[in-house]
Amino acid sequence: MSFAFSEGNPPEDTSKLHRPPFDTDRLDQLMEEAKLDALLVTSKHSIQYLLGGYRFFFYDYMDAHGLSRYLPFFVYVKGRPLDSGYVGAPMERYEKQLGSFWVSNLSLKTFKSPDYAGAAAEMLKGIGGGKGRVGIEVGFMPIDAYTVLKDTLPDADLVDATFTLEMLRALKSAEELTMLREASEKVVDSMLAVIQAHGPGTSKRALFEALRQEETKRGLKFEYALTNIGTAFNRAPYDKIWEDGETLALDSGGNYKGYIGDLCRMAYTKEPDQELIDLLGQVEDVQQTARGKLKAGVRGGDIFEWANEALSRSSAREKMFFSAHGMGIVSHEAPWLMSTAVPTYPAYHADKPLETGMVVSIETELHHTTRGFIKLEDTVAITKSGFEAYGDHGRGWNIAGR
């Protein structure tokens, strides 16, 4: 594999320069609240957001390279967004030639994580941000890079800025909401296509692969699928066969232009009997009650009070589980609504008002010992006057082969 750079490249497109694609005033305010003077950002998802959707194609899936790894840096000083910079790999010159970067400071020279860190530290010092409290993403900072930062920035106090960056992404723009809507719709369309084309005799592995193909065909990057057949509550893909008279739950995440659609829909091998109709109806009642009064200004924890109201009238409530979490570039991003989620985190937004542009995944599952795993998961965006549900079709019993 060669990394030579050819002559005769296309002219550089400078149309994106000096146009921050995010709310810099909001970031500065969040940094002020956290007493941060500068940021050295290293996670792919945060860099994607700060660079307006950019993700270098060569390292889209992998980070390892030789004996080190890809470790890009986004460099930001509070109150000075036009001085922002980016440290990347030499092959990202191709993207520079295409005008993919809005920042004015670029360093595209290295392949090793300590060298990325060294270049980022020097860039930060060069724009006057090498002192004070410098925020990093602790969970996305390898120790060799951290050591370089400590040595190169002796006047800086390196502190965790993960919370600040996550809060920045909590309010979605109109463009982000459009991508989340399309991601959700494409995921549900993919599920319905799989159900239409398969039936009894199909293995979980085959259903998993079919869903991957359907999502890929629709322009999604397939991330995961949690599948359940009947009373087999193991959600991994394995050789379990979908037998006649068994339920099927497809719970999948598909990534569209960096944003995740995460929903669950149900299927049955034939026309459902009244018990199945009633059980899914109880799950649906919890879903609709939990989301029915959502709008900007309601308390985040109200979602659970409303869900509990519906659960209290359900005959299957002892076997039902309800949860709600934020969605966006990553799953379980802000708003954080429950402390018992997986993964766990403080319920920071439980007692705070939801805001326009927040996106919430709402899910209710029923672990029925004889009829199987029954679940619905929805994605809703908070608006000033209510909410919008994305990918809201296919909510009933979808029949195999139809």
Q: What is the mean pLDDT of residues 131-155?
A: 98
Share of the chain above pLDDT 70, in %: 96
Give the per-residue pLDDT at 61. 87
Amino acid identity for residue 187 in this structure: V
pLDDT at 141 over 50: yes
Q: What is the mean pLDDT of residues 300-316?
A: 97
Residue 12's pLDDT band, with cuts at 50, 70 and 90, is low
Which domains does the chain show, CATH number per domain? 24-168 (3.40.350.10), 174-399 (3.90.230.10)
pLDDT at 7 over 50: no
Give the per-residue pLDDT at 3. 46
Query: What pLDDT, in 10s, does the model give residues 167-213?
Result: 999 999 999 999 999 999 999 999 999 999 999 999 999 999 999 99
Beta bridge partners of 134: 38, 158
Give the per-residue pLDDT at 19. 83
Residue 32's pLDDT band, with cuts at 50, 70 and 90, is very high
From the list 354, 357, 356, 376, the residue with the least C-alpha distance to 365 is 376
Calpha distance 18→317 (Å, rounded): 54
Task: Supply the pTM of this predicted model.
Answer: 0.93
Query: What pLDDT, in 10s, does the model give residues 347-398?
Result: 999 999 999 999 999 999 999 999 999 999 999 999 999 999 999 999 999 9
- 90-111 per-residue burial string, b: 16 or more CB within 10 A, e: under 16: eebbbbbeeebbbbebbbbebb
Give the per-residue pLDDT at 326. 97
Query: What pLDDT, in 10s, does the model give residues 46-90?
Result: 999 999 999 999 999 899 999 999 999 999 999 999 999 999 999
Q: What is the DSSP letter of 174?
A: H
Mean pLDDT of the chain: 95
Residues in Cβ contact with 162 at an 8 Å cutoff, skipping those fewer than 6 apart: 137, 138, 139
